[in-house]
A and B are shown apart, each in its own frame.
Chain A
Amino acid sequence: MNPPVVETRELVKIYRMGDVEVQALRGVSLNIAGGEFMAVMGASGSGKSTFMNLIGCLDKPNKGIYLLNGNDVGRLSRDQLARVRGQQIGFVFQGFNLLARTNALENVELPMLYQGISSRERHQRAGEALARVGLGDRRDHTPAQLSGGQQQRVAIARALVNRPTLLLADEPTGNLDSRTSVEVMGIFQELNEQGLTVLLVTHEADIARHAKRVVVFKDGLVLEDRLVERRRLSREELREEARA
């Protein structure tokens, strides 16, 4: 097994809502090895989003240890976390979260803007990333001129462009129809085959079955951690569909 990309020990996250303390995570210990494709499932309030935010370095745990690629990132400052996000993590969101009225190429260039990459290299790498998700001919289109699936592909290109070690996808198919969902999951599977570690958050069991491993959260704890049986492969699903 590859060395772990993500290693957490007894992660605790507590939110204060007025006088009430909400324990969103109550001690989660999980390892995600390099090259894994893990799906996190759970009802709303189970703590899966909180887990996702911690893993994505958008938030800090109250207790516990989080090692990303072997480095303790649980104690970093806001600015240091931003640097980690920019260099090691790629985000894909449910609502795509592209900049409006900004074309696909510029959207994909955005993460590189904060890493001091020259505009020529930004252009080139953004173009390559778009080609990789099959949108090489849509660089000049703004989000409004793209379908949902295309927008999500732009978002994936954006997540890839800084060559992260970990791709976080938070309900990436939540706004997509089933066929487009399969297509998008296909891209994740392809990227995973090329060695990228993927962490997927979803509440749909069908979608989760595209991953290799499923972790189910409940009440801030890991309830279940199992390998996926009868894994769905988008490539085959699409081929079958075409045949039908």
Chain B
Amino acid sequence: MNILASLRTALRALRKNKLRSLLAMLGIVIAVAAVVATVSIGQGAQAKVAAQMASLGSNLLMVVPGSIAAHGVATGAGATQNLTRDDATAIERELTSSVLAIAPINRTSAQVVYGDQNWFTQTIGTTAAYLEVRGWPLAQGEPFGREEDAAAAKVCILGKTVVDKLFPDASHVLGEQIRVKHVPCKVIGILAAKGQSSWGQDQDDIILMPWSTVVRRLVGTQSDAVGQMMVSARSPEQVDDAQREITALLRQRHHQAETAEPDFQIRNLAEMQNAAKENTNTIAVLLGSVALISLIVGAIGIANVMLVSVTERTREIGIRMAVGARGRDVLFQFLTEAVVLASVGGVIGLVLGVGISKWMATKFDWPSLLSPPVMAATMLLAGFAGVVAGFYPALRASRLDPIEALRFE
């Protein structure tokens, strides 16, 4: 009996018992839908987390002032002012092999005013390197350079949210004068929209100004202390090198012994990214294994139905054998039925799973990532489940004695 004929025979047999066939494949339907949906949801969530992480910047290190103990009382991290502009310049100058860019950062909050509009926002004093470190392009205009920093020039770059608040008509923004606190500033650039950070902060609610403009004019201090530094390593592999080299350089500049607790801290954001990725991975693996278990349950369902079907159709098997069916013909027939059940269930499950993942994607606003290899593998697995589930019942059918099978009532 050729494959086409046995396929037709199997379909006919399954159609004769529609409800039972449907119930038998239900397990596989649910399993495949679950696998496809969970894998796609897992990958979507992963992609979203990765995108959020990437919005921080790539290969990122954060250098912040450390805790020092004064008279036995330890202060918290960042409470001291022992990182300076000179430290940043030294890192930039000396560690060119591992460090791509370094941006000193001092923050202050400020009221900003344009015409009859005003807004309260975060002002960041930094250098043009900040845009590079965070991988943040300008939508319009130009960044400020060294001259503006050296001169504490009254210029600023606005985040999207600030633009929306100050310029509701958004007609002409570049070149306008706004007031930041008491300092009139010329808008020379607008940042591209970046959206929310992974912890829900609006990253576009921000103004960038030259470091010295913020420190000297807005804060009004002659101190060279830097709030923090953001460092971008040249490659993911060089993050650790950069961290080690910065540590060594800063220890040396701060005259610290090798054994002393450093008066600064370096936070590795790549580690955070990996941790977040691992979390989503764990969830994906968990969901996936639940789905696989349901595939096994589905296979058991099919095996059960096939066993009942073989018993019920003993006489039919006897007839087929009497008119010339060999054991392997009968084996193949029942195996085909099981595989058809599993495959049809698989296809229905696939459609269902794709639907679910699309719906979830729109609901939770993440990319719906349907991976064809995973879908193909799941379908193969469903077919394989059919073979495994069908084999024992089919074997039993093929080993029936034709005389007894014919006598079966």
Residue A44 at the B interface, CB < 8 A?
Answer: no
Instruction: Give the contacts of B312-331 with A (CB-CB under 8 A).
Output: 315-316, 318-329
Residue B12 at the A interface, CB < 8 A?
Answer: yes
Asked if residues B324 and A87 are in contact (CB atoms below 8 Å), the reply is: yes
Residues from chain A with a CB closer than 8 A to the CB of B320 are 110, 114
| Interface residue from B9, B16, B323, B406 paired with A86 (Cβ < 8 Å) | B323
| Interface residue from B12, B328, B403 paired with A53 (Cβ < 8 Å) | B403
Query: A residues touching B (Cβ–Cβ < 8 Å)?
Result: 53, 56, 58-59, 78-79, 82-83, 85-87, 91, 93, 97-102, 110-111, 113-116, 119, 158, 162
Residue B402 at the A interface, CB < 8 A?
Answer: yes
Chain B: CB-nearest residue to A119? B5
| Given A93-B406, A114-B1, A58:B326 Cβ within 8 A | no
Residue B2 at the A interface, CB < 8 A?
Answer: yes
Leading 9 A-B pairs by shortest Cβ distance = A86-B324, A111-B323, A82-B326, A114-B324, A79-B326, A97-B319, A58-B402, A114-B325, A91-B322
Asked if residues A82 and B12 are in contact (CB atoms below 8 Å), the reply is: no
- Secondary structure of the B side of the interface? helix
Residues from chain B with a CB closer than 8 A to the CB of A85 are 321-324
A116 to B318 Cα, complex, angstroms = 20
| Given A97-B406, A99-B316, A114:B326 Cβ within 8 A | yes
Knowing that A93-B406, A99-B319 are A-B contacts, what are 4 other residue pairs whose CB atoms are under 8 Å apart, sorted by A's residue number? A85-B321, A85-B323, A87-B324, A97-B406
| Interface residue from A82, A93, A98, A102 paired with B324 (Cβ < 8 Å) | A82
Asked if residues A113 and B1 are in contact (CB atoms below 8 Å), the reply is: yes
A121 to chain B, nearest CB (A): 12
Chain B: CB-nearest residue to A170? B406
B391 to chain A, nearest CB (A): 19
A98 to B319 Cα, complex, angstroms = 8
Asked if residues B403 and A59 are in contact (CB atoms below 8 Å), the reply is: yes
Q: Looking at B16, B316, B321, B323, which has the most chain A CB atoms within 10 Å of its CB?
A: B323
Chain B: CB-nearest residue to A101? B16
Residues from chain B with a CB closer than 8 A to the CB of A119 are 5
Q: Looking at B315, B324, B329, B402, which has the most chain A CB atoms within 10 Å of its CB?
A: B324
Residues from chain A with a CB closer than 8 A to the CB of B328 are 79
Asked if residues A102 and B12 are in contact (CB atoms below 8 Å), the reply is: yes
Residues from chain A with a CB closer than 8 A to the CB of B326 are 78-79, 82-83, 114
Chain A: CB-nearest residue to B402? A58
9 A/B residue pairs, CB under 8 Å, sorted by A = A82-B325, A82-B327, A86-B323, A87-B324, A91-B323, A99-B319, A114-B324, A162-B323, A162-B324
A59 to B328 Cα, complex, angstroms = 18
A113 to B321 Cα, complex, angstroms = 12
Chain B: CB-nearest residue to A78? B327
Residues from chain A with a CB closer than 8 A to the CB of B1 are 113-114, 116
Residues from chain B with a CB closer than 8 A to the CB of A111 are 323-324
Asked if residues B16 and A113 are in contact (CB atoms below 8 Å), the reply is: no
Residues from chain B with a CB closer than 8 A to the CB of A114 are 1, 320, 323-326, 329
A113 to B325 Cα, complex, angstroms = 8
A97 to B2 Cα, complex, angstroms = 24
Asked if residues A115 and B324 are in contact (CB atoms below 8 Å), the reply is: yes
A94 to B402 Cα, complex, angstroms = 16
A113 to B324 Cα, complex, angstroms = 9
Q: Looking at B315, B321, B322, which has the most chain A CB atoms within 10 Å of its CB?
A: B322
Asked if residues A158 and B323 are in contact (CB atoms below 8 Å), the reply is: yes
Chain B: CB-nearest residue to A122? B5
A87 to B324 Cα, complex, angstroms = 7
Q: Looking at B9, B319, B325, which has the most chain A CB atoms within 10 Å of its CB?
A: B319
A128 to B5 Cα, complex, angstroms = 21
Residue-by-residue, is B393-409 near A (CB-CB < 8 Å gives 1, otherwise 0)? 00000000011001000
A187 to B354 Cα, complex, angstroms = 60
Residues from chain B with a CB closer than 8 A to the CB of A59 are 403
Asked if residues B403 and A58 are in contact (CB atoms below 8 Å), the reply is: yes
Residues from chain A with a CB closer than 8 A to the CB of B12 are 102
A93 to B12 Cα, complex, angstroms = 24
A231 to B193 Cα, complex, angstroms = 104
A111 to B9 Cα, complex, angstroms = 13
Residue-by-residue, is B141-167 near A (CB-CB < 8 Å gives 1, otherwise 0)? 000000000000000000000000000
Asked if residues B316 and A113 are in contact (CB atoms below 8 Å), the reply is: no
Chain A: CB-nearest residue to B324? A86
A182 to chain B, nearest CB (A): 26
| Given A58-B403, A114-B326, A82:B321 Cβ within 8 A | yes
A107 to B325 Cα, complex, angstroms = 14
Asked if residues A79 and B322 are in contact (CB atoms below 8 Å), the reply is: no
